[in-house]
Amino acid sequence: MSPDDQHSLPAAARSAASRPPTVAVVGATGAVGTEMLRVLEARGFPVGELRLLASRRSAGTTMAFRGAEVAVAELDEAAFAGVDIALFSAGGERSRRFAPAAVAAGAVVIDNSSAFRMAPDVPLVVPEINAAALAGHTGIIANPNCAAIISGLPLWALHQANPIRRVIITTYQSASGAGAAAMQELIDATRAYLAGDEHTPTVMPHPYAFNLFSHNTEIDPDTGYNDEETKVIRELRKIFAAPDLRVTATCVRVPVLRAHSIALNVTFDRPMTPAAAREILAAAPGLRLVDDAARNHFPMPNEASGADEVLVGRIREDVSDGSGRSLALFVAGDQLLKGAALNAVQIAELVRQR
């Protein structure tokens, strides 16, 4: 909303538009919820009142925010009275139950689950790509899948210069994508393995230490794709507003604590040189070029962990395509930040501006 627009509003409305919003974080004690609090604080997001909402077992605990301890309350429908922005990261079931109550109470919901992503009337937003989609929201805005965000940023930058015709995506997804319990399971399993002890997995379906396996989501018996792969394919098409974009994905869980890595093989409408791609990616928002062939230094999850930017590099011609229209590249991004909490807060910042 522009200053002129605010001036034309009644005094009460101008006051509501300018005051710091009441912000609720749903799932505040989880891995992504914890990062949401940190990102809100680090980016100086204006918060008039903060409400931390979680399950009954977390109610009564406290979490630090801007030098104060804030009590965690139990999530229920009545918790949203007076809330302006509600950041949800509590799973699809809770989002489907409680997001409509938050909207009915007057809040704008930014939801990190998959519950509403493919709903036609819900924008699926990566601010660097399709911020304009926010104009059509009716109270709920969806945060995309982490792998779709991390792969989408470099793909979009290249797509603007030379339309993409096909993408082959292979992900190497860390424990952080499955939450705090999976991260702890990887730590415990690694300790046990190194000590020569047995460790029975309880969060993941297979032994996690020094192992990798197909992403731990359900396999579609008709397509053979797991649910994570289907999400990445469908969500990229929606974010790019390109329903016919040819995308395939293979999603794998790897024994990395935090930050996802992704190999991309991209075919363009016209020839694209690695040098041209580097120039485009180096200037694109949300990306950091890490492409030092002399030192064999390319994107790595340990350098992406804790970083706001998605690292992109290993940019080279696909020598199997003699037309010069295909490139291979490698990216790494923090699933808890740009893949989740940071993207959600960036959406909230745009909501505040409108």
Task: Write the pLDDT tens digit of every residue in 61-99.
Answer: 999 999 999 999 999 999 999 999 999 999 999 999 999
Q: Given this model, what pLDDT does residue 354 score?
A: 80
Domain of 171, CATH number, reads 3.30.360.10
**195 belongs to a structural domain:** yes
Structure tokens at 49: 């009142």
- Mapped onto helix, strand or coil, the DSSP state of residue 249 is strand
Q: Is the dihedral of CA 198, 201, 206, 211 positive or negative?
A: negative
Co-location of 253 and 171 in the same domain: yes
Co-location of 168 and 82 in the same domain: no
Co-location of 102 and 152 in the same domain: no
Co-location of 15 and 111 in the same domain: yes
Co-location of 160 and 208 in the same domain: yes
Co-location of 210 and 163 in the same domain: yes
Q: Given this model, what pLDDT does residue 7 score?
A: 40
Structure tokens at 5: 């627009």
- Counting residues of the chain whose pLDDT is more than 70, the rounded percentage is 95
Co-location of 53 and 162 in the same domain: no
Structure tokens at 78: 């009545």
Co-location of 158 and 267 in the same domain: yes
**270 belongs to a structural domain:** yes
**44 belongs to a structural domain:** yes
Domains identified in the chain, total number: 2
Q: Is the pLDDT of residue 4 over 70?
A: no
> What's the half-sphere exposure (Cβ side, CA atoms, 13 Å) at 213?
13
Q: Which amino acid is at 284?
A: A
Co-location of 293 and 152 in the same domain: yes
Marked catalytic residue, from 146, 159, 215, 251: 146
**219 belongs to a structural domain:** yes
Active site residue 146: yes
Active site residue 251: no
Compute the distance between CA of residue 278 and CA of residue 296 in angstroms, rounded to an integer.
Answer: 16
| Residue 258: partners with Cβ closer than 8 Å, 6 or more residues away | 174, 175, 176, 183, 301, 305, 334, 335, 336
User: Which of 76, 105, 81, 90 shows the shortest CA–CA distance to 33?
Assistant: 90
Task: Report phi then psi at 253, rounded to 5.
Answer: -90, 130
- Mapped onto helix, strand or coil, the DSSP state of residue 303 is helix
Q: Given this model, what pLDDT does residue 19 score?
A: 86
Q: Given this model, what pLDDT does residue 17 score?
A: 55
Q: Alpha helix (H) ranges present in 284-322?
A: 301-304
Co-location of 157 and 255 in the same domain: yes
Instruction: Output the 3-class SS for 68-86.
Output: EEEEEEECCHHHHCCCCEE
CA angle 289/330/252 to nearest 5° reads 140
Span between the terminal Cα atoms of the chain, in Å: 4
Compute the distance between CA of residue 2 and CA of residue 74 in angstroms, rounded to an integer.
Answer: 37
**305 belongs to a structural domain:** yes
**340 belongs to a structural domain:** no
Co-location of 172 and 230 in the same domain: yes
Domain of 13, CATH number, reads 3.40.50.720
Tens of pLDDT along 110-146?
999 999 999 999 999 999 999 999 998 999 999 999 9
Identify whether the C-beta of residue 259 lies closer than 8 Å to the C-beta of residue 329. Answer: no
Structure tokens at 121: 């009337």
Marked catalytic residue, from 137, 159, 215, 260: 260
**346 belongs to a structural domain:** no
Q: Binning pLDDT at 50, 70 and 90, where does residue 15 land?
A: very low
User: Which of 353, 280, 345 shows the shortest CA–CA distance to 110?
Assistant: 345
Domain of 111 in residue numbering reads as: 3-115
Q: Which pTM does this prediction carry?
A: 0.92
**52 belongs to a structural domain:** yes
Co-location of 101 and 171 in the same domain: no
- Counting residues of the chain whose pLDDT is more than 90, the rounded percentage is 93
Q: Given this model, what pLDDT does residue 1 score?
A: 42
